Amino acid sequence: MSGLIQIINGPNLNLLGRRQPEIYGYETLDDVEADCAALAADLDLECAFYQSNYEGALIDCIHQAREKADGIIINPAAYTHTSVAILDALNAFEGPVIEVHISNVHKRESFRHHSYVSLRADGVIAGCGTEGYQYALRRMATLIKA
């Protein structure tokens, strides 16, 4: 394997596939993890998957990624729009960061239009459903092999 990608999901994404399928689709987070693991193997990458409903736990995961991961794919969920602390943690990570949103946040309420994390992200994918994680992994393969 030539790179480890830490995939991080924020609050309420553990409910994926169980509520609001009209917005977030029918795949569960376990399905997303399995799809990512399969694609990562094809891309000669390894991925580690993490979800938490707690801001501090997400920050700890980002700190741990500094020691072991080559890139971070993150869907910070609602913390996208509120968390300077997650932005600060990502700013201390040296590798590429890609921000993913399942829904098109720009088509939704105006409070979802601003992202603190986008100030750090090297790429942003929104509105492509759970396929967005796959696009992010493909982009990550390009970035870390460059």
Exposed, middle or buried by CB within 10 Å (0-12, 13-18, 19+), for 139?
A: middle
Strand partners, 73: 7, 98
Least distance in Å: CB of 108 to ligand CA2? Answer: 7
The stretches of 10-83 forming alpha helices (DSSP H) are 21-24, 29-42, 55-68
Least distance in Å: CB of 80 to ligand CA2? Answer: 6
Q: Which of 19, 68, 110, 146 binds ligand CA2 (CB under 6 A)?
A: 19
DSSP 5: E
> Of 96, 89, 91, whose CA–CA distance to 4 is shortest?
96
Give me the 92-111 binding string for ligand CA2, x by CB under 6 A, dash otherwise. Answer: ---------xxx-x------
CB 42 within 8 A of CB 104: no
Residue positions annotated with a catalytic role: 24, 101
Give me the 21-60 binding string for ligand CA2, x by CB under 6 A, dash otherwise. Answer: ---x------------------------------------
Residues that bind ligand CA2 (CB under 6 A): 12-13, 15-16, 19-20, 24, 75, 77-78, 80, 101-103, 105, 112
